[in-house]
Structure 1
Amino acid sequence: MTQQHYFYALEIPLEAKEKLRDIKVNLQEKFSFTRWVHHQDLHITLAFLGFAEENQLAIANKKLEQACQFPSFVLEINHLGVFGKTDAPRIFWAGTASQPVLHQVREKVYSTCLESGFKLETRPFKPHITLARKWNDEQPFHPTLLEKENIFKNEKIVFQARNIVLYKTHLGKEPKYEAVAKFPLQDKS
């Protein structure tokens, strides 16, 4: 049996996912990446746990439920970017405008996971929504391609962030992420 991987993420609401799906369809014609992410799998990762025992997940979930005292907040998706080699990026993503509450939420989720015994990545947090993976073209990728495709110039995607979600990964399925626990942020009203 395959070990399940888990991660905590900020949920992207359905309406924003659908707008990103439409943008992604347009971008697929212009950008040659091997794998494009199913629109239902779009999210902002807060802490990747990898394999996790049920009891360890239960401890983290209980702690997170108690610690999740943040208000819901507005996020704006407003630019594109890549991670990896400049000429052959491994990740193509959509990024958000700076939002201090997002960083505070991530820090709380991250520290809660550490307190629960998880070993986490130590790379700095760069909020992003992965759209595609692995550049696959004979021509090298060039950052000016992103400037040409300034899709957010006329229409930014703005949404209310309301939930942190624990996802389980199902390799070989599409969509491949299953929400197994939800932690609502406090409603502002």
Structure 2
Amino acid sequence: MQQTHFFFAVKIPKEIKLLIKEKCDKLKQILPFSTWVHHEDLHITLAFLGNAPSEKLSNAIDNVNLALIGSNGFHLEMNKLGIFGKEDAPRIFWLDTKESTALEAVRNKVFTACTEAGFQLETRQFKPHITLARKWKGDQRFHKELLDVWMDLQSEPLLFNINEVVLYQTHLDKAPKYEPKTIYLLE
């Protein structure tokens, strides 16, 4: 049986996923990454649980539900492209958001709810981003100046409303590979 993972994430609205897909179709011609994320899988991870035992997962679902009661939806604006990994051969290529105290607050509620359910979560500082692609495969070394291409693709600010947090389950053998399991509506 294939191992599955779970994670809580901010759901990106469908129309924004389609706009990002259009931009990624152009980026693919310029930036050779091995794998591009299916547009329906675009999200902002709040807490990665990994392979979650059912009792702990059930506790996390309940805790997040309680933690998000009274949380309001909010606006986000896409900011710029970035990378994780080696500067000359990045592992992850992403799009980040402008700073948002509302996003930070929702992330903190979800993160705390999951740790209280017994999950050991990533302790690095939260860097909200939408993963677009993985594994640089260019013949040339990657150069940070390539990230400036976003400005050429961006005719107007990419603003959108966030009103859902979702628990996703990963299916590595499918595309799209993230299945929504529980949806939390923000007021």
Q: Is the shorter-chain TM-score for this pair beyond 0.5, marking a shared fold?
A: yes
- The aligned residue for residue 66 of structure 2 is 66
What SS does structure 2 have at the residue aligned with 1:150? Answer: helix
- The aligned residue for residue 18 of structure 2 is 18
CA distance in 1, matches of 2:66, 2:80: 34
Alignment of 1:25-174 (within 5 A): 25-68=25-68, 69-151=70-152, 153-174=154-175
Using the TM superposition, give the Cα deviation of residue 138 of structure 1 relative to its aligned residue in structure 2, in angstroms. Answer: 1.6
Using the TM superposition, give the Cα deviation of residue 155 of structure 1 relative to its aligned residue in structure 2, in angstroms. Answer: 2.2
CA displacement, residues 134-161 of structure 1 (integer Å, 9 cap, x when unaligned): 1001200000111244246422211100
> Is contact 1:8-1:46 (8 Å) kept?
yes
Q: Which moved more, 1:39-48 or 1:52-61?
A: 52-61
> Is contact 2:93-2:133 (8 Å) kept?
yes
TM normalised by structure 1 equals 0.95
> Is contact 1:79-1:152 (8 Å) kept?
no
CA distance in 2, matches of 1:103, 1:27: 29
What SS does structure 1 have at the residue aligned with 2:19? Answer: helix
Higher share of residues assigned helix: 2
- The aligned residue for residue 175 of structure 1 is 176
> Is contact 1:78-1:152 (8 Å) kept?
no
RMSD value over aligned CA atoms?
Answer: 1.1
What SS does structure 1 have at the residue aligned with 2:96? Answer: strand
- The aligned residue for residue 9 of structure 2 is 9
What SS does structure 2 have at the residue aligned with 1:61? Answer: helix
CA distance in 2, matches of 1:2, 1:153: 39
The sequence identity of aligned pairs, in percent, is 48
What SS does structure 2 have at the residue aligned with 1:9? Answer: strand
TM normalised by structure 2 equals 0.96
Aligned partner letter, 2:122: E
Pair 129,138 (structure 1): closer, same or farther in 2 beyond 3 Å: same
Using the TM superposition, give the Cα deviation of residue 55 of structure 1 relative to its aligned residue in structure 2, in angstroms. Answer: 1.8
Pair 148,120 (structure 1): closer, same or farther in 2 beyond 3 Å: same
CA distance in 2, matches of 1:152, 1:93: 15
Pair 85,7 (structure 1): closer, same or farther in 2 beyond 3 Å: same
- 5+ residue gaps, structure 1, are none
